[in-house]
Structure 1
Amino acid sequence: MKTLFAVASVSTLIGCSSMGAHANARTASDEAARAAELTALRVQFEEQEQELRTVRGQLALARAEVQELEGDKSLASERSSRGGRDVGLPWASDGQGELSMEPVLRIDGEVVDERLPTTAEIPEMPDFVEPLPAAASPREEVNVDGYRRALSLIREQRFDEALQELDAFASAHPSHPYTDNALFWSGEIHYLRHDYDRALAYFQRIEKLHSWENKAPDALYRIGQIYLRRGDTARAQAYFDKVREQFPNTAAARLALREDAS
């Protein structure tokens, strides 16, 4: 009888031990599953957060594109009044001799509506001055359909195609009044993709080749932001200061005032 009781006790202990092991295994398995689920949720959250940032950037691009197209009814013929060079600022004509500067595109939500005088003032010439020779016939107007198409592609979030159009336009017309805009939008697309090396290359081309055209302050500000994200605070601050000093009355200068790279 004692032997049977002992066997039963041992069996009970073994059973309890086995049940405990199974319970521990289930607990460990449940914890691993919960940990995996939390990791997946964390990754999903980060992806959604990144997507939200991208969408915000795309909306900023779309708003800027609308702003630009509204001011871009038609690109005026390029005059030879500056020795055959392209004018330094993008300008458009309504066909009645009135000139207006293309609205400055948005950058981080900021926009400045700077325009040239709506009527060109022609000074009176003294009587003793000989009449000027007839102006040379304007050069053939450059087709900007590719540039406009690129802006439409940006609005449709077809960024790869937009980059192709922008690069083609900038390569074909390196000194056109809209070349700095094309370079800027190419850089902006890469900036939104966090491809800062390529973005920097485009913005630096504006700094080097189009240093006083209308996208120059925006490009300098972006260069400062890229250096700031890289941790190069000295260079970043130098560019923010440069924007404020060279282009004090621009949206980029106001944004640079908010930056503190020190």
Structure 2
Amino acid sequence: MKKSQYLFKQTLSGAFCLSATLICLTLSSNAWALFSDDEARKAILDLRKSLATTQLELQNQIETLKTENAELRGKIENLEKQGEDLGSSQKTYYQDLDTRLGNFEPRTETIEGVTGTVQPGEKKAYDDALKAFQAGNLKKAEDAFSAFANKYPQSPYLPLVLYWSGNSKYANKNYAGAIAQLQALIKRYPNHPRIPAAMLTLGSSQLESGNKAAAKKTLNEIIAKYPDSDTAKDAHQLLATIK
């Protein structure tokens, strides 16, 4: 073999080895790059999985907190309801206690604008008399109202007693008694809210008793003092019947 041929072969062999070495290195580099991508993907997947797990745990915690909050709200509402019930129960208790004490000791009350001391049993006596009148038991009502006026002459219920007593006598056709009773009410309590109605019954009693002049005077007084009231309208109608 010639020397030149030998050198050519050696050079070619070296170049081949170098090329092979470069190819191997390139393949090795690509493999490493491929491995790194897989690891990165795995890391990303693991991170996603971890985040999903954490999100699920947080969602579960939120749902748990919502449930506990709802339960707590229910307990608070229940406590508020119990507090309201307790307050109502206490109010009822003290009202009942106050009523019971009122049956045993005097107390100050205001009845339709009239203030005075109410004695034990006084309200019941008034209620019983009024019930008798409302039931149409006029004789019993008259006796009960008279007994009340005699027993409790300073009672704040007295204006009402005189008013209903006058109406009871009028309904029982005791016109003279009704006139006396209603005039006593008007004189003693001129500003009481029952006065207009009492005057109308008084005018009716005077008319029924045959005293037309007195009836006209009373009815015209109603119209003058209470011109816009329903009582004034009734007085006008009653006047129209007087010849």
TM category, shorter: 0.3 to 0.5
The structure that is helix-richer by fraction is 2
Which of the two has higher C-alpha Rg? 2
TM-score by length of structure 1 reads 0.45
Higher relative contact order (CA 8 A, sep 6+): 1
